[in-house]
Structure 1
């Protein structure tokens, strides 16, 4: 009887090829290749046999060589900069998982201050990515400009720019800001404040505009401070608001990280949340639900946004003639009520 273990150990001394697997299993090399080709037709029984033999013998398909033949790398680039915000690592995890289900891999490129070093860009492009997702860019983005001349589809995730004709999938941030404003007015708040994110981002601008529209409908204005989308800056911004003679009775923070900073600033000063001031965030990151914060916030529909992003990107990859038509998809979120907002007497 053939000793598979002995044969496996002997061939481990050389590079195992699809031809070796085929000879061992008594099947054609093309059948082995189909097992490792995304979307190729092969029976489940054959797939299992090939994968078991490949694992035992240490076979690793040469994806670079395969891409030269098929003209497909099944590689999607992801440009991400704001990894300090828990919202984006969650996006990375879910996006990678969903693309893997569709037989695509993700190559991450970290961007700092909306810029990519030229040497990193050259290495990145050397992988011949088929499509690109950019998660956090400025309104006047240099990153998008760097990729604009590439002959690949680009989808901006939860951001848009003013200087590039790109495909976009966004949470409807303006609708979220407006509905948060309406909610705070409905719960009796009249001295309102907004802690903004980076002023050069579409997310912060749209959330503020929606908030402003809701208040203007009631003839009200609001105090503003910049929090830069960071805990530290929002902490200081909240301190300034709490020390005002006309201290706000509610603060809308443009993301949850800043809302958490505002809550901690309130605790430090002895300002009670929500008795003295209501605080509401945006994103619904996991720490927002922690007992120490229990933050009322606005949920971004991440799963639907990711599904729409992948569908749009793969459509542009598979139908290149449609790449010139920019698509914009705005997906609405919803309010999550916890314990940092309370209803007030409108005469307070």
Structure 2
């Protein structure tokens, strides 16, 4: 259906001239923001894909990939960037990295700023619905989504099965004899955190246990703060699933300072398997999502789309789902 939609159709739907529609879709500056929003919204609704030949005339290869991440601080994002960089060097490409600070508007601004400077985009926006985001990004660039929820907006993506990973974490804690399992959640607006919370709740329901959810923001400080809340309770949980490894690290520090034995008093498991978890005291159990490989494989997927010659390839590319692997270490091993 997308192949039959023309730029003229998009212009009519947006109520603008073909020239204005072209400028908006190609990320040019000489168009008002209001017109750009209307054009991109119309293009998204119609599933418009620019013709590959037209794109080739409008843009020459830069051998550079744009990377937009919600943040560039911390070991998780360092590993993502390292994986992308390794994949880029193997393909003879360079990368241009920008942080969106967890803001959809900032991600869109960064993408538009990169239009004309890069051959394709890798976007990680776990706080944004892909259907909404796809209507605002440049349509003349091959695009791969990293993280979030797969299969949305017909965009190629590489996503982690966060629900099944969280379910596996709860089942593991139950197998270790835990019956009061608390969860330090990620940000409420984060789609991946939502899936991990859903997996946790499904796991407790499966085991016939009651949930206890503490707020978090994926930082070690949030994990530390959550533990202070738990320590003030009459009865501590005997199992703790943190929605990411950084919060698990912060929780471990808080428990050790309070003299709580890990895993005898409370077993802990995180999510992601960032390298530092192996060297914590005790080493932290986790769900290995292959953060480095997510970056590398996403770059390889995007590189293949670019070699196919146009953004049209993006519309037909399927999502790749990564199922996390349980990694049991001393923080949760009781048996």
How high is the TM-score relative to the length of structure 1?
0.72
Choose from 151, 154, 169 the match for 1:180.
169
What is the RMSD of the two structures over their aligned residues, measured on CA atoms?
2.7
Question: Which one is further off, 183-192 or 286-295?
Answer: 286-295
Structure 2 residue 106 is the aligned partner of structure 1 residue 116: yes
> Structure 2 CA distance, aligned partners of 1:310 and 1:169?
10
Question: Which one is further off, 206-215 or 93-102?
Answer: 206-215
Q: Is the Cα–Cα contact under 8 Å of residues 167 and 200 in structure 2 kept in the other structure?
A: yes
Q: What are the residue-to-residue correspondences of 1:36-51 with 2, within 5 Å? A: none
> Structure 2 CA distance, aligned partners of 1:270 and 1:171?
35
Q: What are the residue-to-residue correspondences of 1:1-348 with 2, within 5 Å? A: 71-114=60-103, 115-116=105-106, 123-127=113-117, 129-140=118-129, 144=133, 147-160=136-149, 164-319=153-308, 320=310, 321-325=312-316, 327-343=318-334
Q: CA deviation at 1:162?
A: 9.3
Unaligned ranges ≥5, structure 2: 1-55
> Structure 2 CA distance, aligned partners of 1:119 and 1:80?
13
> Structure 1 CA distance, aligned partners of 2:187 and 2:203?
21
> Structure 2 CA distance, aligned partners of 1:251 and 1:117?
33
Label 1:186 to 1:324 Cα distance change in 2 as closer, same or farther (>3 A): same
Q: Match for residue 56 of structure 1?
A: none
Q: Is the Cα–Cα contact under 8 Å of residues 111 and 138 in structure 2 kept in the other structure?
A: no
Aligned residues: 277
Question: Which protein, 1 or 2, shows the higher relative CO under an 8 Å CA cutoff with sep ≥ 6?
Answer: 2
Q: CA deviation at 1:137?
A: 3.2
Q: CA deviation at 1:315?
A: 3.0
**Cα deviation 1:223-268 (Å, max 9, x = unaligned):** 0001111111221112112222231101100111000110111122
Q: CA deviation at 1:298?
A: 1.2
> Structure 2 CA distance, aligned partners of 1:121 and 1:331?
25
Q: Is the Cα–Cα contact under 8 Å of residues 161 and 202 in structure 1 kept in the other structure?
A: no
